[in-house]
Copies of this chain bind each other. A is one copy, B any other.
Amino acid sequence: MAVATELDDVYTYIDSHADESLEELQTLLRQPSVAAQNHGMAETAALVEDMLRSVGFEPRQIATAGYPVVYAEKPGQRDRTLGFYNHYDVQPADPLDEWHSDPWAAEVRDGRIWARGVADNKGNIAARVAGIRAWQAIRGELPIGVKFIIEGEEEISSPSLMDFAVSNPELCAADACIWEFGGRDIDGRPQIHLRLKGICYVELRATGARQDWHSSVATSVPNPAWRLVWALNAIKGEDGHVNIPGFYDSVTPPTDAEIEALRALPDHEAARLEDLGIPEFLEGRSGLELHLQDYFQPTCTVSGFESGYTGDGAKTVLPSRAKAKLDMRLVANQDPFAIHASLRAFLDERGFDDIETELLGAQYPARTSPDAPIAAVVAETYEDLYGQSPVVYATSQGSGPWYQLCSQFGIDACTAGVGHAKSQAHAPNENIYVDDFILGIKHICAIMDRFARS
């Protein structure tokens, strides 16, 4: 339940322009922008520029080795600057046959908007633009300076963003940053995250004969699918332990305060299990043990594996190629580049020098202090608007370029957004609630207002 605030005039404008804001979001959602497949990227960058131009910014595209960054800034009444970090790329939409409506149709159904990227994170781009539009329509000049850094490679692990940041520190400079995602937990309670995991994403490839062959020759011809099975098994065996030398060495154990914070987290286990459709969590973990695993341990995930014939029925083939994607989520203070180098050396040492590796993405883990002013601003405005104090998580389980854009410059950041626990980011039937989208627009105005007065 929202309480009356000084921003009622702005909120009234937002409510009376809800349809236009929703249409602007749908336009953005109907433009595919899959970085992994180079699908619609230039069109989407131009569309995002148009959106920023429509609220008085003068955006520009800054070239990188990959997709350009859309950058825009505008001064405000106070000489302090709030950054908004977002990304205009989205995940691939497949498996398409599991969607209940076209992922690019942005259908509104049962009070929700269903589309690839609506939660992650085009809903937040649109809410931030709409919030600025509302403020300016009612109040004129923004209360603070605002800058947008909207990259095009977040879903492929932001490979160009470190170069961008190091080459353009003045563009990154800000007094605080609102991160690209955020939203409600499974009880509908808002959440705040003050840390992101890092990531080391590696493709592994094996090759055998010059092409697929009749499987009868398998007596004597190497099989790249077996090579990759054995290499992956060497990396992580049935015990779940990652055997890459040094992998766990720099994992920082939680402090007593962090453990206490974990104990205070709400218990969502039953609802999560039901949502996932599994009978129990890995190793039967629960309670604090589960939280410690989720928030303070790294992962090593086979995100994809392909070799040979994968259609229906039987094809008696000896594959000529095999590839796998290995997605490692890192916790403080693991180094993705050091881990990739150690993986390479491990494979060579273990006799898998025939397995090629390619580092497709690397992010350092990063953090904001729980005492940072921006954390209080986001928490207080969430409480005002959502009628509930947010749950504060030391870390998200996800990753992103928080280190590149913020931590390396000493900028504090905090999450805020329009998602919810069943938004299905990265999965079929991604969605947000229309009501949350409108509330998110108001939240942006409240954050700017409170940050100007903090």
A182 at the interface (CB under 8 A from B): no
Contact of A36 among B302, B313, B397 (CB under 8 A): B313
Q: Which residues of B contact A209 (CB under 8 A)?
A: 276-278
Instruction: Report the nearest B residue to A300, measured CB to CB.
Output: B218
Known: A276-B213, A325-B314. A219 touches B293 (CB 8 A): yes
Instruction: Give the one of A225, A313, A360 with max B CB within 10 A.
Output: A313
Contact with B along A372-398 (1 / 0, CB 8 A): 000000000000000000000000111
Task: Tell me if B329 and A213 are in contact (CB < 8 A).
Answer: no
Task: Tell me if A311 and B398 are in contact (CB < 8 A).
Answer: no
Q: Which of A43-51, A123-131, A231-239, A335-343 lies at the interface with chain B?
A: A231-239
A294 at the interface (CB under 8 A from B): yes
Tell me the count of chain A residues lying within 8 A, CB to CB, of chain B.
88
Task: Tell me if B229 and A233 are in contact (CB < 8 A).
Answer: yes
Contact with B along A237-249 (1 / 0, CB 8 A): 1100000000000
Q: Which residues of B contact A312 (CB under 8 A)?
A: 36-37
Contact of A215 among B233, B282, B299, B311 (CB under 8 A): B299
Minimum Cβ distance to chain B for residue A314 (Å): 4
A35 at the interface (CB under 8 A from B): yes
Task: Tell me if A303 and B215 are in contact (CB < 8 A).
Answer: yes
Q: Which residues of B contact A290 (CB under 8 A)?
A: 220
Interface residues of A in 77-128 (CB under 8 A from B): 91-92, 94-95, 98
Q: Which residues of B contact A399 (CB under 8 A)?
A: 216, 316
A189 at the interface (CB under 8 A from B): no
Known: A215-B327, A223-B301, A299-B215. A199 touches B316 (CB 8 A): yes
Contact of A294 among B208, B220, B226, B237 (CB under 8 A): B220
Task: Tell me if B426 and A305 are in contact (CB < 8 A).
Answer: no
Q: Which residues of B contact A152 (CB under 8 A)?
A: none
Task: Tell me if B223 and A317 are in contact (CB < 8 A).
Answer: no
Known: A222-B282, A230-B237. A318 touches B301 (CB 8 A): yes
Given A225-B304, A238-B351; 6 other pairs, CB 8 A cutoff: A91-B315, A95-B212, A221-B281, A225-B303, A229-B232, A302-B308
What is A's interface to B at a CB cutoff of 8 Å? 35-37, 91-92, 94-95, 98, 155-157, 197, 199, 201, 203, 208-223, 225-226, 229-230, 232-233, 236-238, 276-278, 281-282, 285, 290, 293-294, 297, 299-319, 322-323, 325, 327, 329, 351, 360-361, 396-399, 424-428
